[in-house]
């Protein structure tokens, strides 16, 4: 099994969206690298002592590394941007906020990682950003641009690294139908979303290409989720999520395969962990 690279915006994005598949990849012997664009400084938390964004960022980075340790991933990297928070928030106006960085500039920072890791598969956010968070949406465009630039032999970059064409790209997704049902539940973590965000929430089930049963890695994902204490412990924004919803997150993970111009639709599926799992589970 060849290398897998997961690129997300904040600590915990990788865990909720893809920890099951990441654990499966580690189990199959694939080198796994996780990159977070920010340290999650703008996250909500009423936990004592974490009302300072910089301190929260330090803690959330530590949680990210511990969560990945739970599933066997030791190669964890950060791009060094600042969490932008939601549109209109003070965090969005910070000069180092991720959304204030141009797509090209942020892509240039990601390209050396792609060229050094040589991933066979990249996992990242789709065009809807799961639930429309500005950093998620921005990361989608940054990742797409970085994949293109990394493959371009005319782009030497500051390191002069050799080009790399990533064979397979997946977007971590969640069915729109289930997300809308979650939105209407008491204590929903999505309850603060504006009404106009509902139309673009999640991915229609008809557009999801791979649904992976992650029961075999549920315990590892559960431990990884628990590591993100600033999000899930008392005082965190996800503390009120009902237990049955937490368990629901441990049943399946959802992905959309996105074609790349240099890759055939089913190229190198033997080294594509998501395609391998789907074939074993007779899901495709």
Which CA distances in Å does 129 have to 11, 191, 283? 15, 17, 25
pLDDT-based confidence at 13, cuts 50/70/90? Answer: very high
Q: pTM score, two decimals?
A: 0.91
User: What tens digit of pLDDT does each residue of 262-275 get?
Assistant: 887 665 577 799 99
Q: Which of 4-13, 60-69, 187-196, 233-242 has the lowest mean pLDDT?
A: 187-196
- Return the closest-CA partner of residue 233 out of 85, 46, 86: 46
pLDDT digits (tens, 9 = 90+) for 104-140: 999 999 999 999 999 999 999 999 998 888 999 999 9
- Strand extents, DSSP E, 75-129: 75-81, 121-125
Residues 203, 200: Cα–Cα separation, whole Å: 8
The pLDDT of residue 77: 98
User: What's the rounded Cα separation, in Å, for the pair 126 and 31?
Assistant: 23
Selected residue with higher pLDDT from 240 and 252? 252
Q: What is the pLDDT of residue 72?
A: 97
**69-108, pLDDT tens digit by residue?**
999 999 999 999 999 877 767 777 788 889 999 999 999 9
Whether CATH 3.40.50.10320 fits 4-280: yes
Residue-level pLDDT at 231: 85
Better-predicted residue by pLDDT, 237 or 126: 126
204-229: pLDDT as tens digits: 999 999 999 999 999 999 999 999 99
pLDDT-derived band at 194 (thresholds 50, 70, 90) equals low
pLDDT the model gives residue 158? 61
User: Which single residue is written with the structure tokens 């229609």?
Assistant: 204
Distance CA 143, CA 140 (A): 5
pLDDT at 187: 62
Helices (H), 151-262: 176-183, 218-227, 229-232, 243-248
Q: How big is the chain by its Cα radius of gyration, in Å? A: 18
Domain boundaries, the chain: 4-280
pLDDT at 211: 95
Question: Would the pLDDT of 155 be above 80?
Answer: yes
Answer yes or no: is pLDDT of 33 > 70: yes
Q: Is 180 helix (H, G, I), strand (E, B) or coil?
A: helix
Q: Which two tokens stand for residue 54?
A: 């910089």
CA-nearest of 18, 23, 62, 17 to 219 is 23
- Token code pair at residue 256: 């959309």
**CA distance linking residue 160 with residue 175, whole number of Å:** 41
């Amino acid at each position: 099994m060849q290398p897998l690279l997961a690129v997300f915006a904040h600590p915990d994005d990788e865990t909720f969206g893809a920890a099951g598949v990441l654990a499966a990849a580690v189990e199959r012997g694939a080198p796994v690298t996780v990159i977070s664009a920010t340290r999650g400084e703008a996250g909500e938390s009423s936990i004592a002592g974490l009302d300072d964004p910089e301190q929260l960022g330090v803690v959330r980075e530590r949680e990210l590394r511990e969560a990945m340790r739970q599933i066997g991933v030791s190669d964890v990297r950060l791009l060094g941007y600042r969490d932008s928070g939601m549109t209109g928030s003070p965090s969005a106006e910070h000069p180092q906020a991720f959304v204030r960085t141009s797509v090209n500039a942020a892509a240039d920072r990601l390209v050396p990682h792609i060229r050094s890791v040589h991933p066979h598969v990249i996992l990242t956010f789709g065009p809807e950003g799961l639930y429309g968070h500005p950093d998620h949406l921005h990361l989608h465009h940054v990742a797409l641009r970085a994949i293109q630039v990394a493959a371009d032999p005319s782009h030497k970059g500051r390191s002069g690294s050799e080009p790399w064409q990533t064979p397979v790209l997946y977007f971590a997704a969640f069915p729109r139908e289930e997300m809308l049902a979650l939105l209407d539940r008491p204590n929903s973590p999505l309850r603060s979303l504006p009404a106009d965000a509902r139309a673009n929430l999640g991915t229609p089930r008809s557009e999801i290409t791979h649904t992976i049963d992650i029961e075999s890695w549920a315990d590892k994902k559960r431990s990884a989720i628990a590591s993100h204490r600033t999000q899930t412990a008392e005082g965190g924004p996800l503390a009120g999520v009902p237990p049955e919803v937490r368990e629901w997150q441990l049943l399946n993970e959802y992905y959309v395969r996105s074609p790349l111009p240099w890759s055939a639709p089913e190229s190198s599926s033997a080294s594509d962990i998501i395609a391998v799992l789907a074939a074993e589970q007779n899901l495709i």
